[in-house]
Chain A
Amino acid sequence: MFQKKYRSIAKITMQNTMAYRFNYFISLIASLIFILSMFYLWKSIYAGRTELAGFTWDQMKAYLFITFLTNSLVSWYSETGISRKILDGSVAMDLLKPLNFQKARLAETLGSSLVEGLIGAIFISIFVILFAGVLVPDHIFTILLFAISLVIALVLKFSIVYIFSLLCFWTTSAVGIAWSRAAITNLFSGALIPLTFFPDWLKALASILPFQGIVYIPASIYLGKIQGVEAVQMICLQLFWVFVLWMAGKIMWNWAVRQVTIHGG
């Protein structure tokens, strides 16, 4: 599925990401501030308590670090990149190329994520050392399942970003769309709060939406909240959503591209 042409796109994006470090640095600081404020907020929520909704403070810390990792994986770069292509009309150039638009964008995302994920991982290690006491799974099998789940989470997040970005064929408000996506994803993926804290009706709503596959499922596997067969089932659920959203993105693209008007040349 991933031929050489897509691999080269991924490589070029990797180089671009390294060349334009500054933007990434800023977005990293933004997610750092977010995670720091969440850390302190949770710390005082846990003051004088050992457990809330099945989470101990140690588990909560680990949960926050995984949130940070998954949040910094799909960058603002790939988010604004796709909509910018559509808004400034350079999507016309992509139509001329013998590439599948969706696969090429995925290749870009994976490329930039590889670099950013690496830097993110370094940051995480520093954190773990500073605030020692983040739980590490004791079973190698758990880590393996977590890694698989995390990679799927990345593709899943891409699929969601892709669909939202395609909306720019109908509106020029790219920022509005990015904000809405971020807000919805943050709440329903469990990035703000583990889904077990939700009241039942909200939990039910979150479980039928695809967003839980971005943070909550990988984090729960990491913490051993879901294990064995159940973990495999959850990974299958993630795969199911990747498939559905990928197809939806494909259909949407085919439909959207027929209504493109590009001004000037």
Chain B
Amino acid sequence: MKLKKSLFIYFRLFNQHLKAILEYQADFLITLVAAMLTQVLGFIFLWVVYQQIPEINGWGFWEVAFIYAMIFFTEGFASLFFDGIWSISRFVNRGEMDRLLVRPVSPILQVLGSAVGMNGVGNIFIGAVIISQALRHISINWSVGMVVIALILLISAIIIRVSIYMAACSSVFWTHSPGNAFGNMVHTVSDFAKYPITIYSLGVQALVAVIVPYAFISFFPAALLFGKTDWSYFGYLTPLVAIYCAGMATFIFNRGLRRYESAGN
């Protein structure tokens, strides 16, 4: 019952922001096109590389394309539905968190629903096209079990992505920095996970597999789905990593919230 009510409130918030954005149609279109362009041009880069060589480290074109697209696809979900995370710094620094705290709804829910990033639509769309093309070109033994696993991996990937942002942006409770510098920095680290992590040195691998687990969004699920036996077992950890990340993000946010002091009047 509580979940149902939360979802209801979340989508009411979402709808209101959506209406506000659609008011400015040109802006909406530009952000949409920009997001699609970024992903497509990066995809062209991969394609050009694979015109010259058949495989990188044992990974074929469509396999890498899948990894690449997963990064953008989950990014799209994070910006479309959870863009409010990036407003935490504004809430904290301007004392606007007060407004959220006096309402009888969970502050996390209100933060998540406090903005809509329309660039997400572009990322999700192009990401879905590339992912479906990739899955068509790679031979996978699709069984019912495999479909269920793929869905679980996808949902886990989105949860991991959102949780990492949530944890990174909550740093503002301690630093009080005016922008999202730290969040942006953590965001850029996902650049590493656009390609199979086998190409990196051990340090970078540890960074994206353990410290900021972006590899569980793209690389490990891909290894599991495509049966890359060296790495596929890690893929089974993905749901656990998602639970861990979500727990940590909530913990950090709540800890931060306890430190929150209003701007005062």
Contacts and interface: CB of A to CB of B under 8 A. Distances in A.
Interface of A: 22-23, 26, 29-30, 33-34, 36-37, 40-41, 43-45, 47, 49, 52-53, 170-173, 175-177, 179-180, 182-184, 186-187, 192-193, 197-199, 202
Given A30-B184, A202-B44, 17 more contacts: A22-B181, A34-B188, A40-B200, A171-B26, A171-B27, A171-B30, A172-B24, A173-B26, A175-B119, A176-B27, A176-B34, A179-B34, A183-B38, A184-B41, A197-B49, A197-B52, A202-B48
Interface string B22-62: 00101110111111011001101100110111001100000
Interface residues of B, number: 39
A52 B34 contact: no
Interface stretch (B8-16, B190-198, B243-251): B190-198
A193 to B, nearest CB: 6
A145 to B, nearest CB: 28
Interface of B: 24, 26-28, 30-35, 37-38, 41-42, 44-45, 48-49, 51-53, 56-57, 119, 179, 181, 184-185, 188-189, 191-192, 194-195, 198-201, 204
Contact of B49 (A30, A36, A45): A45
Contacts of A23: 179, 181
A34 B204 CA distance: 13
A37 B185 contact: no
Contacts of A37: 191-192, 194-195, 200
B189 A173 contact: no
B45 A187 contact: yes
A29 B38 CA distance: 20
Contacts of A29: 185, 188
Contacts, number: 107
A30 B34 contact: no
A47 B127 CA distance: 29
A23 B177 CA distance: 11
Contact of B53 (A52, A170, A171): A52
Nearest to A41: B195
A64 to B, nearest CB: 14
Given A40-B199, A173-B27, A199-B51, A183 B34 contact: yes
Contacts of B192: 33, 36-37
Closest 8 CB pairs of A and B: A176-B31, A176-B34, A179-B34, A176-B30, A173-B27, A44-B199, A183-B38, A180-B34
A177 B53 contact: no
B201 A40 contact: yes
A226 B195 CA distance: 32
Nearest to B33: A180
A199 B184 contact: no
B37 A179 contact: yes
A180 B30 contact: yes
13 contacts: A23-B179, A26-B185, A30-B185, A37-B195, A43-B199, A44-B198, A49-B53, A52-B52, A175-B31, A176-B32, A193-B45, A197-B51, A199-B48
